[in-house]
Structure formats: C-alpha cells, structure tokens
Amino acid sequence: MVESPDHEAHLATLDDRQIELVLRAYRERYHDLAADRRIKYVQIFKNHGERAGASYSHPHSQIIGIPIVPLRILEEREGMRAHAEPREGECLFCEILRRELASGRRVVAENGVFVALEPYTARFPFETWLLPKVHARAFETLSDADRAALAAILKDVLGRMDRMLDDPSFNYYIHTAPVREPVGTFHWHLEITPRLTEIAGFERGTGFYINPIVPEDAAAILKGEIRWAAARPSAT
C-alpha cells in the first residue's frame, strides 16, 4: 500500500492528515480482506529501511490476509485470557496501562486516546507499543476521531526515533483480534521495533532476547531527557 506520492516521504515527516489517510486505507483494506471467509487473520505491517526488510525505497506498508491465526496472536490471546480468568475479566493490557501511567517511567507520549510506552520486558532497544487507553479488541473498529489521535501519536513517536536514533530501520505491526471473533479477551495495539541490534544464536536457540538498553533509559532518550550515546553499553 503506497503511503505517499513523494518518493522521499517518511511517516515521521508527513502531515497528520496524510497519516490519517494511510490509517483509513489500512481499515478499508482490512474489511475487504476480512470479507473473504477463508481469511482468519489480517496482518498490517510496515518495513522501513533495508535492515528491516523493506523491498522498495518508496514509502509503503503491507497488508496480508492469512488463512490461520498466527502463533504470536494466539500466545497473546492466551496470556490475556489467563490473566482475566481469575480477575473477573480484567484485561491484562488495561492493567499494564494503569500501572505505566501511574509510574510514568516508561511512557514516551500520550494524548487523550492513546499511550506510547516502552514495554517492561522489551525484546529490542526502543521497542515501543501504542495502545488505546479505552479497552478495544479490534483495530478495525477505530473511529474517525480516534484515527486522528492515532495518526498524531504515531507521527510523534516515529519523529522522535527519526531525530534521536538517526532514522533507524524499523518494523511496525498491528496486533488485533482474529477475524470474525466476536467475543474473547484481546486489546489491540501497534508495536514498533527498531532494528538496532541483530538476532543471533542465543535468541534463535532459546526464544529469549538480549536487550542492551533498559526500557526506562529508552523512554528517557525518546523524550530527550538523556542522550542515546550516554546510555549505550560499553563494548566488552
């Protein structure tokens, strides 16, 4: 999905209205793909930069309809279900939001509708999640007003990464409830993962990730409170 007619454009520098149009196109394409009864999940994602796997330099996103629900989504859904079951249906991500907003240490930005934060167990340096403050299961239910708020905070966070991290390669992807799943526990969100480190043997062999930057420092860097160079681990 082409994001702009400008070959040199970047979501971090587009105006808010253009980003809103990109998000609206995501939603429209989602609904079109979801209408196919063979499709069980629709993955919306963006690869920016060569290290992130971008196949074209022109700004674009990708949307793929999948005939099965991805394992990652099943794992998230099971984690939310396991948390909710003994807590009278309380959403895990709603609790995370409550705790993170109260602390503020890992919050990068927020507006009236969305929060951008560094997850407590971030897998990658500067991994950032954008979550709706009010519980919502599915991205495709995003209202026009909320789409404007999402466009604003997405541009804000990508702009911070562009300035503070010198336009890093990154992936982002939307995690939403599976297609035609009217009930169940899920809290949709958008994850941004800059490609600043390599996944090596330990990560591939164990499924555990080594992140050399603690999320509190990552949040402080993206907020301009400390410089990235000062937070980088020394070579060993």
Torsion of CA 148, 46, 223, 188, to 10 degrees: 60
- Residue 60 a catalytic site member: yes
- Give the Cβ contact number of residue 146 at 10 Å: 17
Provide the 3-class DSSP secondary structure of residue 125: coil
Tokens describing residue 194 = 């800059």
Stated as kind and residue range, the H or E segment containing 164 is helix 144-164
The separation between the first and the last C-alpha atoms of the chain, rounded to the nearest angstrom, is 43
Largest CA distance in the chain: 53
The residue written with tokens 């999948």 in the block is 66
Task: Tell me which of 31, 60, 83, 189 is the catalytic residue.
Answer: 60
Give long-range contacts, CB 8 A cutoff, 24+ apart: 164-168: 164/221, 164/222, 164/224, 164/228, 165/126, 165/194, 165/196, 165/228, 167/10, 167/12, 167/49, 168/49, 168/126, 168/194, 168/195, 168/196
Catalytic positions are 60
